Amino acid sequence: MTAELAAETYAACGAEPPPDCRICPRLVEFREENRAAHPNWFNHAVPSFGPDDARLLIVGLAPGLKGANRTGFPFMGDFAGDLLYSTLLKFGLATGRHAPETPQALRLVDCMITNAVRCVPPANKPTPKEISACRPFLVERIASLPKLIAILALGRIAHDSTLRAFGLKLKDYPFGHGASHALPGGLHFFDSYHCSRYNTNTGVLTEEMFESVFASIRETLRGS
Ligand code: URA
């Protein structure tokens, strides 16, 4: 079975890959190495997190090795999750406590978080083939949210994969921090630089810049 055919077959099952998804050989091998080294970690395809009636879908890149791949929740335990979850709490898109060791202490409100690639990639870098192979799950994820109004892409890979999920041309929707685009069907598509440690440590993304994107999203959700 080709990777493309396998992806279609799995995607027919829904918006989430099976926990032991075997579409991408490199990611399977990495997962198995991690499972042997850290048997107490999650070490599966990381499912989307949040309620099915969410109006906002946040699309990240891929699980971090010691974060989402360890805890089983996107961005939970990842450095990037500190800024993401504190911002969601501040904007009323989450309640509870952000405590990576007890992910259940936090609930998302009106928003769901997913990743363009669901399995942890070596060095945080999925290949173009892996991103394409995982896209059918993103397509299904988007399609299965009946109240969806807005999508936020964290970083260019999430941006490009989301546009491809809609079959849109990348050149018609240029990526830029704070950019927003109207997608066919009335969806609002927002971009932010990824809230990675690298981007925040180098000042590419500040807390203020990140919050200003969420302020725009909040206005959109309020007006809809
Ligand atoms: N953790 C995730 O789940 N996704 C990212 O994009 C980064 C860290």
Among 186, 161, 151, 155, smallest CA distance to 50 is for 151
Nearest residue by C-alpha to atom 1 in ligand 1: 75
Helix (H) / strand (E) element for 158: namely helix 156-165
CA of 71 to the centre of ligand 1 (A): 12
Other beta carbons less than 10 A from residue 212's beta carbon: 14
55: domain CATH number?
Answer: 3.40.470.10
| CA of residue 224 to ligand 1 center, whole Å | 28
* 90 φ/ψ angles, rounded to the nearest 5 degrees: -65, -35
pLDDT for 224: 83
Domain that holds residue 106: 3-222
- Total of domains in the chain: 1
* Chain segment 163-184, per-residue pLDDT in tens: 999 999 999 999 999 999 999 8
Per-residue model confidence as pLDDT tens digits over 89-114: 999 999 999 998 898 899 999 999 99
Question: Nearest to residue 115, comparing CAs of 62, 41, 172?
Answer: 62
Query: How far is ligand 1, taken at its centre, from the CA of residue 13, in Å?
Result: 23
- Say which residues have a Cβ less than 8 Å from residue 104's Cβ, sequence separation at least 6: none
d(CA 184, CA 196): 29
Work out the angle between the directed axes of helices 207-223 and 79-90 (0-180°, nearest 10).
Answer: 40
Mutate to test the pocket of ligand 1, among 46, 48, 61, 88 (most ligand atoms within 8 A of CB): 61
pLDDT, residue 155, reads 98
Nearest Cα residue to 224 out of 192, 189, 188, 190: 188
Identity of the amino acid at 194: H
pLDDT-derived band at 1 (thresholds 50, 70, 90) equals very low
Pocket of ligand 1 (CB under 6 A): 60-64, 67-68, 74-75, 78, 80, 115, 154
